[in-house]
Chain A
Amino acid sequence: MTTMIHVENVAKEFTLHNQGGVRLPVFDNVDFTVAAGEALVLAGASGAGKSSLLRILYGNYRPTSGRIVITHAGRPVDIVSAVPRTVLDIRRRTLGFVSQFLRVIPRVSALDIVRDPLLARGVSPEEASERAKAMLARLNLPQRLWELAPATFSGGEQQRVNIARSFVDPSPIMLIDEPTASLDAGNRDVVVGLIAEAREQGSAIVGIFHDEAVRESVATRYLDITEFRKAA
């Protein structure tokens, strides 16, 4: 199997300069790899740094040391040392991040939010619309909402728009942070199905799932990050 993520000696420590320079070590010496078609579930108690690790993989948080080699367009790229536009290109084509929160942009409709990643990858506007509509329907978002900007949607509706956007064209690597929190059982099953499909199509998945049933149906492998916990 193709290695998609290679994490090498990653450590993270936050320094809070405005709170007396307090240093908060999170983890140290993190090493693992994830291959295409795998779903690695991060385990560990709340506060162990699961979300921080996921954000580091996305290039959102900067690790204190170490490197993260992403297979991007068939070539290895260290996302930690990559220049900003390379990171953006990696995110556009290789690396997707799914959270439970939608960043609402004024005046942009739900349909446009979901279409956007397809357009960015060069899909024709007609095909992008069709696929976006199919995905919103699959996630049971009422059709009357599709043309509206999600600012006024409920939390669960916004969440489903966000998931639709992420899975309308699954990336080769999908980083997933608690996607099913606050969804009802029916929609939760849809999300589990979407993750499984993405994985079967070859996506490498790294995720955090609070819900045990979801975790067990998604995971092909677990990583307990408590073992990297730095002795504070």
Chain B
Amino acid sequence: MNMQVNPQELTLDPAPLLSVAGVSRFYGERIGCADVSFDLWPGEVLGIVGESGSGKSTLLRCLAGIDRPDAGQVLFRGGAEPLDIYSVAEQERRRLMRTAWGIVHQNPRDGLRMDVSAGGNVGERLMDNGARHYRKIREAALDWLQRVEIAAGRIDDRPRQFSGGMQQRLQIARVLVSEPRLVFMDEPTGGLDVSVQARLLDLLRVLVRDLGLAAIIVTHDLAVARLLTDRLMVMKDGHVVEQGLTDQVLDDPHHAYTQLLTSAVLTV
């Protein structure tokens, strides 16, 4: 049988949302991440796994517009024109990060304003994006608090009065209220109790699916990767050593390091 098969043709949306080419960042002589390239399509969730020091957080910071890479390009196709995020002015990059992107930090304190009410934290993002109608902003904030399972009665409380799990859910509401196209998450369940993690994971899973978000999630937890991601990149010493469909990489790992990672877990 000699038929032509071309999976690329089958896709409805031929342009990736994010194209990453040759991204590298060095700390002096030391490699942060080296020569990372991939495409991410709308609705896709990519996991980056590896142990601490593997370069996954460095890579995420380069991708998310926080740290300029020493080499390589990050191209975002959110608007009419593809945007090379490190060739545009700082101001435009910041506008993009505020409107089209969202970043969920591992530590909610890095993503929240601790001295502003829960409702204010969510509403502020909308005001940043031009919303001015107070009642509508408060309604949207209330709606999002409920979606992340924070009781309406807590809307005027400050995040410092919340538990760690609630703070993390509030941060997620703050990020998602502005309807970003692309969300970056750095160990979103790190530092939480296992029972709290499960609730947060289920919430993230449902939100990502219902909103059709594209997301890049850094985690060292392979069970989190299995639950939330479609694709996986495995990093070691700053290099991507293996990538593919999440279940392929976890169930039939080819690289020695990935085999070591997956065999070190009790159950994934």
Physical interaction between A and B: yes
Instruction: Enumerate chain A interface residues (CB-CB to B < 8 A).
Output: 6, 8, 15-18, 55, 59-62, 67, 69, 72-73, 75-78, 81-89, 105-108
Q: How far apart sit A184 and B94, CA to CA, in the bound complex (Å)?
A: 61
Q: How far apart sit A83 and B5, CA to CA, in the bound complex (Å)?
A: 12
- Give residues 210-268 of B contacting A (CB, 8 Å): 227, 230-231, 244-245, 247-248, 251-252, 254-256, 259-260, 263
Which residues does chain B contribute within 8 Å of A85, judged by CB atoms?
A: 11, 41, 44, 230
Tell whether B151 is near chain A: CB-to-CB under 8 Å.
Answer: no
Apart from the given pairs A17-B256, A73-B10, A86-B7, 9 other A-B contacts in the complex at a CB distance below 8 Å = A18-B263, A60-B248, A61-B248, A62-B248, A78-B7, A84-B44, A84-B245, A87-B245, A106-B201
Q: Closest chain B residue to A61 by CB distance?
A: B252
Candidates A16, A69, A88; contact of B5 at CB < 8 Å: A69
Candidates B7, B11, B202; contact of A107 at CB < 8 Å: B202
Mask, B132-154, CB within 8 Å of A = 1, is 00000000000000000000000
The answer to whether A105 and B231 touch across the interface, beta carbons within 8 angstroms, is: no
Per DSSP, chain A at the interface is mixed
Which residues does chain A contribute within 8 Å of B263, judged by CB atoms?
A: 18
Tell whether B8 is near chain A: CB-to-CB under 8 Å.
Answer: yes
Which residues does chain A contribute within 8 Å of B3, judged by CB atoms?
A: 69, 76
Which residues does chain B contribute within 8 Å of A8, judged by CB atoms?
A: 1
Q: How far apart sit A55 and B247, CA to CA, in the bound complex (Å)?
A: 11
Q: How far apart sit A78 and B3, CA to CA, in the bound complex (Å)?
A: 10
The answer to whether A59 and B44 touch across the interface, beta carbons within 8 angstroms, is: no
Which residues does chain B contribute within 8 Å of A82, judged by CB atoms?
A: 7
Which residues does chain B contribute within 8 Å of A18, judged by CB atoms?
A: 256, 259-260, 263
8 CB-based A-B contacts, threshold 8 Å: A18-B260, A55-B251, A75-B10, A76-B3, A77-B7, A78-B5, A81-B7, A105-B202
Q: Closest chain A residue to B247 by CB distance?
A: A60
Q: How far apart sit A17 and B260, CA to CA, in the bound complex (Å)?
A: 8
CB distance from A142 to the nearest CB of B (A): 24
The answer to whether B254 and A15 touch across the interface, beta carbons within 8 angstroms, is: yes
Which residues does chain B contribute within 8 Å of A77, judged by CB atoms?
A: 5, 7, 10
Candidates B8, B201, B251, B256; contact of A61 at CB < 8 Å: B251
CB distance from B232 to the nearest CB of A (A): 9
List 8 tightest A-B contacts by C-beta distance, closest first. A17-B256, A106-B198, A82-B7, A86-B7, A61-B252, A84-B245, A78-B5, A107-B202
Tell whether B199 is near chain A: CB-to-CB under 8 Å.
Answer: yes
Q: How far apart sit A59 and B247, CA to CA, in the bound complex (Å)?
A: 9
Q: How far apart sit A29 and B202, CA to CA, in the bound complex (Å)?
A: 43
The answer to whether A83 and B8 touch across the interface, beta carbons within 8 angstroms, is: yes
Which residues does chain B contribute within 8 Å of A76, judged by CB atoms?
A: 3-5
Tell whether B205 is near chain A: CB-to-CB under 8 Å.
Answer: yes
Q: Closest chain B residue to A88 by CB distance?
A: B230
CB distance from A19 to the nearest CB of B (A): 9
A8-B1, A18-B263, A106-B202 given; A86·B252 CB < 8 A: no
The answer to whether A59 and B245 touch across the interface, beta carbons within 8 angstroms, is: yes
Which residues does chain B contribute within 8 Å of A69, judged by CB atoms?
A: 1, 3, 5
